[in-house]
Every structure is written in structure tokens, then in C-alpha cells.
Structure 1
Amino acid sequence: MTETSDTRSTAGADEGEGPPRSGVQRLMRFVPLIAPVLLWAVPCWVLLYAGQHWPFPVTLTGTVLIVLGLIAMPLAMVRGHGRRQQDGAAIVGDSLLGGIWILFTWSVLLGVLLRLALTLAGVGGGQDRARIVTWAVLGTTAVLLVWGYAEARRVPRVRRLDVRLPRLGAGLDGIRVALITDTHYGPLDRARWSARVCETVNSLEADLVCHTGDIADGTAERRLAQAAPLGTVRAALGRVYVTGNHEYHSEAQGWVDLMDELGWEPLRNRHLLLERGGDTLVVAGVDDVTAESSGLTGHRAHLAGALDGADPGLPVLLLAHQPKFVDRAAAHGVDLQLSGHTHGGQIWPFHYLVRLDQPSRAGLSRHGARTLLYTSRGTGFWGPPFRVFAPSEITLLVLRSPR
């Protein structure tokens, strides 16, 4: 693998104040205040007050627990993810957030659908139906919390797929590309998990190993023990990495430097050439689309710079953290973009909100006449230590030539 381009980019000029805020934009400012209240208030109503007529001590105890959760969650999140960066508080806040999201979801679904089904079936009176709904919600939530935690903490299963690229030369047919992304090393110490992930990657005997960003939540110095196993990853032709948006919350240049020290090639708006059997593949990478707003000199997503000097007749494999970069990739005739960021939704039904911001939640999709996009569900998890109906993955893509 040989380096052919190394383009350094600078952030653009200040944009100014911009147009006045619309009514919707002003309303959105209150979402962070309203959303937590709804997350806790809806389960409180469905479980305790919607016709159950529990004994007063039960109602009082349940209400107190709900109120304590409502108060504790934002306080723990601020202490855990704010200036103090207290890992213990972050674990508490993240766990409460994941737990109440699951409880809220099934309070809404079962509170409406199960209650309706019981009514239509003529099961019991109003109080009986209400209590059946309560126990169904609590039981479903408990099962999903245990299962979701196990799914989040396990070593991801390997997802294998063949990807046919019409411009790929016959000499590169069968080249094996391993993809990991969104490892999100964080408050929960996952050094052993990290080592086992790297062992799994090594077992794939890949030609090229890619990490498409969001290595960790926290600085490189703080998460070094968890990230260190990345240095043991083996690849026949190279290991390449691009930044994700979370690097720009945690001293991105420190992560770029660490990955370089661990033997990975940071593709910061540049490309490499991968050669085999007389044929060549351009392997390019760009900074995350949030890089420019970080204020770090030289950090921004610059695809033209990444491809500068590359033969336009060669196939291009592009690493870009966020799937929505694919519009630019398609405009430049990229053959295959590898991305992460979405986590596949991580906790259902957040899946549907992901699609409001990204063109793909998971898997292989086509964009334009030539460009394919593969979106990984991610190798780790962010924040809440749960994965519900969105399993993590290590991906092995076998690139196929049409000949």
C-alpha cells in the first residue's frame, strides 16, 4: 500500500449570524426540557394511575421512584458527560436513560394495543385490564433490559457479504475488507471486550481492516487501556481509520495521533493505493462532517482533496463516518462507501428517528448510478448499555470483480 495524496484542509470562514429563528426552531429549544418529563410521566400514568386503583402505599412508592428517576437522570448525565466527566455518574445516567426509553416505549405500545385487545376480547373489568397491562409492561421491560444488556456487552457476531464492484479489476477479486466502527470505549471499562473484538477481527484474515470512527467517548489518554488492543489488529495490506463525530467531543487530534502510534493509517482527506494482481483500488477517507465546526485547524470533510491525484478510472473505496456523506460520494463517482454512526438504531424504536437524519440505517444500499453504501450497525454502543433489535456487528466484505 503506497500513499499518493495527503491534503490538509482548513476550516471555512465564519458564517455570520444567519436568518432569524422560525417558530419551530424556537420550540425545539424546549425539547430537552419536555422530553425527559414525558419519558417518565407516561410510564407513571400507565403503570400507576390509568385505572389500576392500587393500594395507596403502592401508588406512593411508585410515584416517588419515578420522580427520583426524573431528577437523578439529568443530574447524573450532566456530571458524567459535562465538565466533570465522572464515569460513575455517566454509567448511572446512561443506564437510566436506556431503561426509561424502553419502559416508555412499551408503556405506550402495550398501554394502547394490549388494553384495546383485552377490551375487544372482553377480558375482565377495567381494573383487571389495567393491571394486566401494568404487569405486561414491567415484564416486557425487564426481559428487554436483561437481553439488551447482554447484546450490548457481547463480542459482535461477524456479518459476511459479497459486494460486486463493476470497476474492480480481476486481480483484486476476493479481496477481504473487515469493518469495525463505533467502538465507543467509555465509562464502562471494556478492555477485555476490546481485546476479544480484535482477536475476532484477526481470525478473519482480512486484507484491509477499516475503522470508520467514534472510537471512544473521552480523550485518548483517558481511554488508552481500552483502545490499546487495536494495536494488535493484523491485516495483509493495511489498517485505515477516519474520525467520527465523537472524536470532536474529545480532542480529535489526540485520537488521530494515537491511532497512528498503534499502526493504523489515519485517512484525513487523503487516499492510499491498494495493489494486487496488477490491479489497483483507491482507498480514501475523509474527516467527519462535523469536523469543520470543531474549530480544529485542518479538520473538515474534503472529498475532492481526498481524491486529489487519484486516477479517475480506478475504483474507489471511501471511508466516511456518517452515511449522509454518500450524496457527495455519489457526485464524485465513488464505488463503495463504508460508514457507521447509526448503530442500527441501537434501541428500538429509535430506528425510525435515525432515518430522519441519515439515508440508511444499516446494510447495503445503492445511491446514484454507481455508488454503493454499506452502513454498519456498529461494533460497540453509545451511552445506554443496551441494544434492542439492533445487534452489533463486525463486518467482512468480500469485494468481487465482474470478471
Structure 2
Amino acid sequence: MTDTDETRSADGSARTARQSRLRRLMRYVPLVAPVLLWAVPCWVLLYTGQHWPLPVTVGGTCLFVLGLVTMPFAMVRGHGRRQRDRAAIVGDTLLGTIWVLFTWAVLLGVLLRPALTAAGAGDGQDRARTVTGAVLAVAAVLLSWGYAEARRVPRVRRLEVELPRLGAGLDGTRVVLITDTHYGPLDRVRWSERVCAEVDALEADLVCHTGDIADGTAGRRRAQAAPLGTVRAAHARVYVTGNHEYYSEAQGWVDLMDELGWQPLRNRHVLLERGGDSLVVAGVDDVTAESSGLAGHRAHLAGALAGADPGLPVLLLAHQPKFIDRAVEGGVDLQLSGHTHGGQIWPFHYLVRLDQPAVAGLSRHGDRTLLYTSRGTGFWGPPFRVFAPSEITLLVLRSPRRPDAPAAP
């Protein structure tokens, strides 16, 4: 063995050891994270110089301990095998509430306290109690606003996307994207009806749903999903699976969407033809599909494009933005995705960014491929959206405009 081979072997062994340690550490995250989420705001609000009366300190501490015990129990009972909706609502609400409290306890504890000290505002106890009041006030405002944001019908986000290979006959094609509706423990039948009415008002040529329809099986959430059957499109309604379908009998959701008149693009494509030009509209199963164990479920771009004219532009539906690497290799022109929720509750988007190449909006990847990542139409889990508004997206596709051509209306 040469010195170079020995060096490579040592480097490989070191990497393997580091990865092994990281995996061991990750096992403790589910245990440590809830404790930190509840312990940090408890400490900041009650034990950093406030000198509250004993009943306040004891009562507040008991509330935090109760939350720490109740939250994981309720979430397991609500989202586990039993799927108890009331328990899920309690667990999800506690998770969102403590995330906001944790965030602002850290921020205001770090930023506001030194500012008050520098300004000479009161004594230590006064400053500590001011921080406590500020954290509680900010959290109350953001949670109230975030709940209203999560429950409202999403605003329509409009943008034009130029695709260099799009034929002139397809110029102005209207594509509406909804995704991550996450019908779940909170009954949102009326919300679903209003979302579908909003989609209809956009007079789309193509309506897309890029997965995560619901949390729960198709039989359990059928009433909330049923309004999707009323959506109208001039050419097609198409759908691909998200990762949450694979937690809840994915084939049942594929069958229900087919029954409601949507075309499940399970590693296949359809053609959208207009004005003598064609657009390949392809879809793939979610990247988690293969590990689900369901026969025939996997993300297979080559299968989705099999038989398509390679000279035609391709619009791809893929639930997770991280599929973009394969889309670039496959020569896709535009990928539509969801999954990220835009972070849903600030500043969670920083963590999402560790796993996904984009969190929201339009981005370019490689020489040809564009990715549009929706912030989602609904919400997952905690019924709050803070600085990450939901959306229904209208994308108007544009072909390259000739220099002598008039501007599009």
C-alpha cells in the first residue's frame, strides 16, 4: 500500500468515525429538543432575576413542566397509530406555542436585556420583568396573528415565468399550483371549498397539486378533500404524491384523487397542447416513496419522461425541492414543488434550508432549469403561520419574445 493509499484510508476512517458519532448524537435530538424548548423560556421568564412571589414561580414552573409532559404524549397519541384528532390538536398547538415562546425568549433575552442595561432602565429586577413582559406580549400577538394567517384562504401569488423552449402557441398558459393542503385534525371543509373557489376564479389551463394532501388516510379525510373534485381547468388537473401520503396509505390518496377527476402523475406525463405547440407535464412520486415499501412507488424521472419528445419543454411536478438535482440532469425546464411551507413559523426556515435547496419562490439551477417552491396552501401540525404566509400560486408561462414583438398584455 502506498503512502497515498494509506492517507486515503485514514481520511475515510476519520469520516466514517465522524458520521458514526453524528448518528449517535442525532438519536438524542428527540429527547433533548423538547426539554430545551420548554426549559429555556421557563428560565428566561421566571428565573433570571425577576424575583417573582413564590406562588408565581412555582405555578409558572408547573405549567412549563405540564407542557413538557403533555406535548410529546399528545403528539404521539394524535399522530401515531391511534390518530386521535383531539390529542393531535393539543400536541400541535403546544408545539407551535412553545416554539414561538422559545424563539422570542432567546432573542429578547439576548437583545433587550443588554439594551435596557445600557440605557440604565431601572434595576436588575425591573429589567428582568420587562423582558418577561415583552416576551409574553410578542408571543401573544404573533400566535394570534399566526393562527389567523393559518386559517385564512391563501392570497394568490402571481408571477410570469419565461421558458426559452416554450412555443409561441403556449405563451400565456396559466398554471395554478396548490400544495400541502394538509387536511387534518382541525376540520377545514369550508376552508377547502373556499380555496377551490379561489382556484376556479383564476381560469387556469392547468391546475397542479404537488402533494401532502392530508394528514390521515383518504377515508378519514375524504370530506375535507372532496371539494378538490369541483376544481376546473381548461386542459388538465394533475397531482403527485408528497411524503405525508406515505404516512397514510398513499395508494388510497392516489385512488381518491383519480376518483375526483385529477390525473395522478405517478412517474408519467401528459401533453398540454395549445396553439399548435406542446408542453410535457410530468410528475414523479415523492422521494420517500421507495422506502415506503409500496410496490411500484418510487421517484423515477426517466419513467416519467419515457416516450416524450426531447425537443419539447418539460414542466415537472415533484413534491420536494431537493429533486431539482435530478431535474437538472434530466433537462427539465421548470419544476414545481412544495413541502417547505416557507418555514411556516419563523425562524424555522433556517432549519428547512439545511435539507432543501430552496425554501420559497423562483430559483435557477443549472443552465436551463427553474424551480418554483410554494410556501404551501395549508399548514402542517401547529395551526400557526408566522412570517411565512400561505399561497395559491398563479404562474403565467411565457415564451421568449422576439425583439420586434409587442409586449404581452
Same fold, TM exceeding 0.5? yes
SS at match of 1:399: strand
Over the matched positions of the two proteins, sequence identity in percent amounts to 84
Residue 277 of structure 1 corresponds to: 275
SS at match of 1:221: helix
Once the two structures are TM-superposed, the CA of residue 20 in structure 1 deviates from its matched residue by: 10
Residues 208-232 of structure 1, C-alpha deviations (whole Å, 9 max, x = no match)? 0000000000000000000000000
Residue 111 of structure 1 corresponds to: 109
Once the two structures are TM-superposed, the CA of residue 120 in structure 1 deviates from its matched residue by: 1.1
Question: What CA distance in whole angstroms lies between the structure 1 residues aligned with 2:190 and 2:54?
Answer: 47
Once the two structures are TM-superposed, the CA of residue 21 in structure 1 deviates from its matched residue by: 6.3
Once the two structures are TM-superposed, the CA of residue 84 in structure 1 deviates from its matched residue by: 1.1
Aligned partner of 2:310 among 300, 309, 312: 312
1:2-401 pair list within 5 angstroms: 22-401=20-399
Question: What CA distance in whole angstroms lies between the structure 1 residues aligned with 2:21 and 2:277?
Answer: 56
Which consecutive segments of 4 or more residues in structure 1 shift more than 2 A? 18-21
Structure with greater contact order relative to length (CA < 8 Å, sep ≥ 6):
1
Once the two structures are TM-superposed, the CA of residue 97 in structure 1 deviates from its matched residue by: 0.3
Question: What CA distance in whole angstroms lies between the structure 2 residues aligned with 1:112 and 1:308?
Answer: 56
Once the two structures are TM-superposed, the CA of residue 19 in structure 1 deviates from its matched residue by: 9.9
Which amino acid counterpart does residue 268 of structure 2 have in structure 1? R
Residues 364-386 of structure 1, C-alpha deviations (whole Å, 9 max, x = no match)? 00000000000000000000000
Residue 13 of structure 2 corresponds to: none
What count of residue pairs does the alignment treat as equivalent?
Answer: 386
Residues 17-42 of structure 1, C-alpha deviations (whole Å, 9 max, x = no match)? x9996111101101100000000000
Residues 370-403 of structure 1, C-alpha deviations (whole Å, 9 max, x = no match)? 0000000000000000000000000000000003
Residue 5 of structure 2 corresponds to: none
- In terms of fraction of residues, the more helix-rich structure is 2
Once the two structures are TM-superposed, the CA of residue 165 in structure 1 deviates from its matched residue by: 0.3
Once the two structures are TM-superposed, the CA of residue 122 in structure 1 deviates from its matched residue by: 1.1
**So what's the TM-score if we normalise by structure 1?**
0.95
Question: What CA distance in whole angstroms lies between the structure 2 residues aligned with 1:21 and 1:148?
Answer: 38
Which amino acid counterpart does residue 266 of structure 1 have in structure 2? P
SS at match of 2:22: helix
Question: What CA distance in whole angstroms lies between the structure 2 residues aligned with 1:233 and 1:386?
Answer: 26
Question: What CA distance in whole angstroms lies between the structure 1 residues aligned with 2:257 and 2:286?
Answer: 16
Which amino acid counterpart does residue 333 of structure 2 have in structure 1? D
Residue 404 of structure 2 corresponds to: none
SS at match of 2:375: coil
Unaligned runs of 5+ in 1: 1-17
Question: What CA distance in whole angstroms lies between the structure 2 residues aligned with 1:365 and 1:112?
Answer: 34
Which amino acid counterpart does residue 228 of structure 2 have in structure 1? L
Which amino acid counterpart does residue 28 of structure 1 have in structure 2? M
SS at match of 2:354: coil
Residues 47-70 of structure 1, C-alpha deviations (whole Å, 9 max, x = no match)? 000000001011011001011000
Question: What CA distance in whole angstroms lies between the structure 2 residues aligned with 1:336 and 1:176?
Answer: 14
Name which of structure 1's ranges 120-129 and 221-230 shifts more when overlaid on structure 2.
Answer: 120-129
Which amino acid counterpart does residue 41 of structure 1 have in structure 2? A
Once the two structures are TM-superposed, the CA of residue 336 in structure 1 deviates from its matched residue by: 0.2
**So what's the TM-score if we normalise by structure 2?**
0.93
Question: What CA distance in whole angstroms lies between the structure 2 residues aligned with 1:363 and 1:397?
Answer: 11
Question: What CA distance in whole angstroms lies between the structure 2 residues aligned with 1:188 and 1:357?
Answer: 28
Once the two structures are TM-superposed, the CA of residue 153 in structure 1 deviates from its matched residue by: 0.2
